[in-house]
Amino acid sequence: MEASERPQLPFDEGPGGDGSVRAIDDRLVIERLEIDDRRAARLVRERAEAGHPATETVRDAVEIGARVLDSEETAANVDYVRRELESGLGELDRKLGGTLEEAAEALAERIATTFGAERSDSVQAQIKEIVGAESRAHREALLGALTAEDGSNPLVAIQARLGKAMLEAEERHRHEVERLRESHREEARAMHGQVGELRKELARLLEREDADQRVAEEAQRGTAKGRTFEDRVHAAIERIAVARGDCALHVGDERGEGGSKKGDTVVEVGAADGACLGKIVFEDKDDQLSRNAAWNELNAAMAERQADFAVLVVAGEESIPAKREQLLEYEGNKLIVAVDPELPDEMALELAYRYARLRVLMARDRALEVDAAGVRDAAEAARSALSRAQSVRLALTNVDKSSAKAREGIEAIVADVEAELAQIEALVADAAAEAGPGDTG
């Protein structure tokens, strides 16, 4: 094969072997060249972050730098030519003048030697004078031609061509700089547009995320509110159960044998001291249910937890199902009690607990002859006393004066409730004692 005739710069490694540059035709091949320039490195990084490839940035930098260097070199060459011409013309003037004078003197000397130089009117003297005058005339003519400002001066054409070349180079440089500036302005406008779109998209994402966050927080608050009420009710039930040797289990998050999570707290009567004598299930609701929905919840809870009695605990009297009353037994196995949603009223809750517990024990020992009328009267009296206590408590929240007297009234009513409950428990105990050990179990 014939060798390539394209102009090439020989393979050239820089000092220390830090890279090489080869010029092949109209291309440059750069290999392993390291450039230590902070501004160039920063420019490449910033443009790369803006989406411009690093190779494109380096290529633009080389092309722009080459044009700038070429323009500067052209200007430097023009200045150099101008200085050389001026220097050369001065030197030419000196050389021409000296040469002509030397030639004239040499010629005069030769003529004087030949024809007698001492004679002022001799031919030699006349020839010397003629040669000198002619030399001066030629010198003046040459200097005049070189210093003339019209077309007769050969330097004028040179200066015109050089000036034209300089103007063209400057014009090309100006156009190139303007083109690059316009290109950069277009890139900046495009980048600003992209940034604007990104800002809009970011604003939409932030707005959507904020909305999602608000919804999640609202849902979390609702969930936390329900669980807090449930947890507080369970804690109160657990305190009551421990005092009576019962076990209170928080089962709100556990599925029963039927697969549902109906029922929040299950009390196993007597399980702390021995075998379980029966179960009470408590269902907690911080919103109002309809009568049918409430009965469905309680029936489902008893079935799921295999309980003998169900108590619906609601947050405040306003949450009692329509046409239903609290602390009134329904269907022989259901009871409703209203408590403070933030601070469960353990007095009302304890009354419901103890009543449900007695009903479970009575249902278990069906052979017991219990004074049903006495139990009913005592329960009604306790419910009436509790109603009075709640009325007084409501008055305490609205009246600041006479609080001590109101509290004394509360304590007296609580004592009445305790006495009625004790009466019910005594009736059950008496019936158990009369039946004897052989008649129970």
d(CA 363, CA 157): 132
d(CA 267, CA 249): 6
CB-count burial class (<10 Å; 0-12, 13-18, 19+) for 379: buried
d(CA 147, CA 415): 135
d(CA 418, CA 385): 10
Contact between 326 and 337 (Cβ < 8 Å): yes
| Cβ neighbour number for residue 180 with a 10 Å cutoff | 14
Instruction: Identify the bridge partners of residue 266 per DSSP, sorted by sequence position.
Output: 249, 281
Q: Which of 378, 365, 377, 225 is nearest to 287 (CA)?
A: 225
d(CA 239, CA 274): 19
CA distances (Å), 20 to each of 64, 173, 357, in order?
A: 20, 29, 97
Angle subtended by helix axes 346-364 and 372-398, to nearest 10: 170
Q: Which of 416, 396, 414 is nearest to 405 (CA)?
A: 396
Give kind and range of the element (H or E) at residue 310: strand 309-315
d(CA 282, CA 390): 21
Give kind and range of the element (H or E) at residue 316: none
pLDDT tens digit at each of 441 positions of the chain: 444 455 555 555 555 556 788 888 878 888 878 888 898 889 889 989 989 898 888 888 888 888 777 766 666 665 665 666 566 556 555 655 566 566 666 666 665 565 554 555 555 566 667 777 777 777 777 777 667 766 666 676 777 777 788 888 888 888 888 888 887 788 777 777 776 777 777 777 777 776 666 655 654 554 444 457 899 999 999 999 999 999 999 998 888 888 888 999 999 999 988 889 899 999 999 888 999 999 999 999 999 999 999 999 999 889 999 989 888 889 989 999 999 888 776 788 988 899 899 888 887 766 455 565 666 666 666 666 666 666 665 555 555 545 556 666 667 776 777 777 777 777 777 776 666 554 444
CB-count burial class (<10 Å; 0-12, 13-18, 19+) for 415: exposed
Instruction: Identify the bridge partners of residue 249 per DSSP, sorted by sequence position.
Output: 266
To the question of pTM greater than 0.75 for the whole model, the response is no
d(CA 276, CA 273): 9
| pLDDT the model gives residue 134 | 74
Contact between 317 and 340 (Cβ < 8 Å): no
Side chain identity at residue 59, one-letter code: R
